[in-house]
Structure 1
Amino acid sequence: MADFLEQLGSILFLDIETASLTESFEELDPRLQDEWVKKERLIKTTEEGHIDPGSLYFDRAGIHAEFGQIVCIGVGYYQRKKKEKKLVFRSKVFANESEKELLQEFSSLLDKKKWVLCAHNGKEFDFPYICRRMLIQGIPLPEPLQISGKKPWEVRHLDTMELWKFGDYKHYTRLELLASVFGIPSSKDNLDGSQVNSTFHLENDLEKIKKYCLKDVEVTARVYLAMNPQLELEEIEIIQLDDDSEQKGD
């Protein structure tokens, strides 16, 4: 158990929320417009039939790093409460009108400790998306995100969806489903991923997105514990750090 607790304290759970680069297709740089139309031909389904160029942009662009942007990154980590059967989960969200400044702040956090990164579907979405947007913004990749040339066991990335597959590579499981089967409270009480783009561009409500993002981070962290039942806990105390707090252990 001691080894598990030690390893647990080095895991940084994270979640990103993304939106399209611009509110409308027409606002997009003309070169990117041309590329999006080509991308659109590949992602449209047979059920959709004929579509006008750019018609899928608002709903789909945010999931593609070349046509989207990161609007917030939620992070959290566990600490053991001394002399108690209790964990403290400290969480924080990085959000900024400037994506570059947001990513620089997040990069600084990754440089402070030898983190193991964990996200749900992180290996296919969150981690590569962050890397691509950092490079587009001219930001060097921090060490935990540098995977080129590393052996698989040297890459410190965990993925709760991959852990749940147990080798079944055809299996996709939503975070909300895992939360349901483990009896973990939902993060979807006032927002879900499909509404982030409209909440960001049309409602201009970044605070709502930040709260949703932090809840997803907490759910991911709780799912990870549920899949590693070595530790018997009476409770988990949730502490949300403000923007000026430092992410550091005791």
Structure 2
Amino acid sequence: MRLPVLTFDIETQTDLKSGAHLFGLDLPDESLDHALTKLRRQESGSEFQRLPLHEIVCISGMWIDEQGMKLFSFSREQHSEADILKKFLSIFDKRHPTLVSWNGSQFDLPVILYRAMYHGLSAPSLFDQGEIDTQKRYNNYQNRYHNRHVDLMDAMSMFNGRNFQKLDDIAHLLGFPGKRGDGGYHVPEYVKHGEWSKLTRYCEGDVLNTWLIYLRWCLLKGQLLAVDHQHLIQSTIQYLQTQPQHAEFLAVWRATSQQTDFTHFDFPTPTD
């Protein structure tokens, strides 16, 4: 495994202002939201908005290096979308981590690209493909066959869309928590009602599941020995024990780990 590693995820809501501008609509927000959803359904058969209309409300990450691991989140509670992007993109100016995601190639990175352009930001450390740093011609964050960005959904499907799987399903299958409790998508409601802790906990939960799957992926590929894999699993458990907002994640992980032989002993049973 090449350190540092940055596992990340974004949460979004429909950018009503940009949608109104794009389609020439003059409506109150609630009517505008319904109108944009209807237009999207008519043009694509799906309510999933075009990528440029996804306004970022949270970016969460798990940073792992020789010093340990750290969860972090940048959300709209304290930052504008532009500031969230500036903070996240500045990471790549200082370090060049192995970036890990689930569906990041098709969603997270393109959304970050569009929204960074919308706000007039520069991010050569993330989007350079060799025009500035010639070495990135052979290993950059965009090329699906390079190792600088590992999109686990893409890689585990062997780059075949017919084989794509949901993060929640694979996490459960492998003995990890997946979504805790209600797996519904409540991000717009969290933002509307200012439930920022729920928003960041939701986003960080996806990051944690992605990180745990990445460890298993590295074990599969021989990039981690079994003893090192187990050490990182135990380090993650010990770290989360210091993070009270993820007590439920740990509790569900403990229960789910009992469902597979491989993860059965991740949480040793206390002895009398």
Question: What is the TM-score of this pair, normalised by structure 1?
Answer: 0.72
Q: CA deviation at 1:131?
A: 0.9
Deviation digits for residues 164-205 of structure 1, max 9, x if unmatched? Answer: 11243421111111101110122333554x22123223x232
Counterpart selection for 1:134 from 112, 116, 119: 116
Deviation digits for residues 80-112 of structure 1, max 9, x if unmatched? Answer: 57xxxxxx4311011134101111111222211
Deviation digits for residues 32-71 of structure 1, max 9, x if unmatched? Answer: 23495764422226xxxxxxxxxx5xxx44xx33222000
1:178 maps onto 2:177 in alignment: no
Counterpart selection for 2:205 from 201, 212, 215: 215
1:171 to 1:152, Cα distance in 2 relative to 1, 3 A? farther
Deviation digits for residues 206-234 of structure 1, max 9, x if unmatched? Answer: 22111111111111011000112233214
Deviation digits for residues 114-141 of structure 1, max 9, x if unmatched? Answer: 1221110010001111111011011112
Equivalent-residue separation in structure 2 for 1:15 and 1:238 (angstroms): 19
Q: Corresponding residue for 1:20?
A: 14
1:195 maps onto 2:189 in alignment: no
Equivalent-residue separation in structure 2 for 1:29 and 1:228 (angstroms): 41
1:38 to 1:185, Cα distance in 2 relative to 1, 3 A? closer
Q: Corresponding residue for 2:158?
A: 166
Counterpart selection for 1:94 from 74, 82, 101: 74
Cα RMSD over matched residues? 2.7
Greater percentage in strand: 1
Most deviating of 114-123 and 150-159: 150-159
1:207 to 1:69, Cα distance in 2 relative to 1, 3 A? same
Q: Which ranges in structure 1 are unaligned for 5 or more consecutive residues?
A: 46-55, 82-87, 242-250
Equivalent-residue separation in structure 1 for 2:66 and 2:85 (angstroms): 29
CA contact (8 A) 1:135 1:141 kept: no
1:12 to 1:142, Cα distance in 2 relative to 1, 3 A? farther
Q: How does 1:29-108 map to 2 (within 5 A)?
A: 30-34=20-24, 36=36, 39-44=40-45, 60-61=48-49, 64-79=50-65, 88-96=68-76, 97-108=79-90
Equivalent-residue separation in structure 1 for 2:153 and 2:216 (angstroms): 13
Equivalent-residue separation in structure 1 for 2:62 and 2:127 (angstroms): 17
Q: CA deviation at 1:72?
A: 0.6
Equivalent-residue separation in structure 1 for 2:121 and 2:151 (angstroms): 24
Greater percentage in helix: 2
CA contact (8 A) 2:8 2:100 kept: yes
Aligned amino acid, residue 94 of structure 1:
F
Equivalent-residue separation in structure 2 for 1:191 and 1:93 (angstroms): 20
Q: Corresponding residue for 2:145?
A: none
Aligned amino acid, residue 210 of structure 1:
T
Higher relative contact order (CA 8 A, sep 6+): 1
Question: Percentage identity across aligned positions?
Answer: 23
Deviation digits for residues 2-50 of structure 1, max 9, x if unmatched? Answer: xx3xx0x22211000001123xxxx6664323495764422226xxxxx
Task: State the secondary structure of the residue aligned to 1:228.
Answer: helix
1:226 to 1:16, Cα distance in 2 relative to 1, 3 A? same
